[in-house]
A = this chain, B = another copy of it.
């Protein structure tokens, strides 16, 4: 096996006890400077690294965060994950990432794995079909706090960090109104998700309150392909064509943009476009798409902050949101 250095080896080499070595390494005042120096030097020479298994068996908790993502290969989650990993490492935590694949059964399995691994806390994102929160509550009962992110339960009893969904939608609606749109095709995501509801409600309300005679057509797509098909279909109309296209997310924007290209319409001339996005998709089109930024990175940082607070000391359930801002492109 690997001949890793342990406290014992150092202590034997130096002819002192294990506890002295341990304390010397942590600058415990009980240990004389002379011994401490000897110990630290040898430890460095031998590249001693404490065995996390042992440390955390003793300490009872492991500096580990569980991150449950719907899928890692997704435009939004990638930046979220990246941010979580960053912030967590800076706080001294490692991250264990598991994917639910939007599958209920696997979600439960993942939670079990988290428990087995004695994570200190869990960041979770529910699947569209999650209705039973018992597995999550079970974690809480075992003192493993859970913070939901992005796709969160409605229930106020849970910790949540969200993008400012309503605000983002309102911001987009404002831009649309200001542009003088009369006929808006708005594509939203899966109806069951609260993120969809929040964005939809705010969007619709803002548009209706704009007291302009704006026709609003709302469609729902659960993935990129559907958004593509749906948008293309609508854009094919010969008369009463939409003058503005709104996409609630990157997944949808990607599909809709493909449809726009195929339709032969030019933007912003023939149709105005605006979306809510993480930023990448809008930037690869020319002109760039105007969007309301919902940063996965910001959300990741917020989530880690919050879960660490919860770990340190139980918090009352809180619902936090990140800021959003309008990024102007040339599409509206």
Contacts and interface: CB of A to CB of B under 8 A. Distances in A.
Interface in A48-105: 49-54, 56-57, 60-62, 71-74, 78-79, 81-82, 85-86, 89, 94-99
A99 B86 contact: yes
A179 to B, nearest CB: 21
Interface stretch (A35-43, A110-118, A125-133, A188-196): A110-118
A17 interface: no
A261 B73 CA distance: 26
Contacts of A62: 53
A259 interface: yes
A272 to B, nearest CB: 17
Tell me the number of copies of this protein: 2
Contacts of A98: 85, 89
A9 interface: no
A79 B73 contact: yes
Q: Give the one of A57, A62, A86, A143 with max B CB within 10 A.
A: A57
Contacts of A262: 286-287
A95 B66 CA distance: 11
A324 interface: no
A142 B86 contact: no
Contacts of A82: 71-73, 99
Interface residues of A, number: 58
A49 B52 CA distance: 19
Contacts of A239: none
Contacts of A138: 47
Contact of A118 (B51, B57, B259): B51
Interface in A251-286: 254-255, 257-259, 261-262, 281, 283-286
8 contacts: A72-B81, A72-B82, A74-B78, A89-B113, A94-B96, A224-B283, A258-B284, A258-B286
Given A73-B81, A261-B285, 9 more contacts: A52-B117, A53-B53, A53-B118, A72-B82, A72-B85, A94-B96, A257-B284, A258-B283, A281-B284
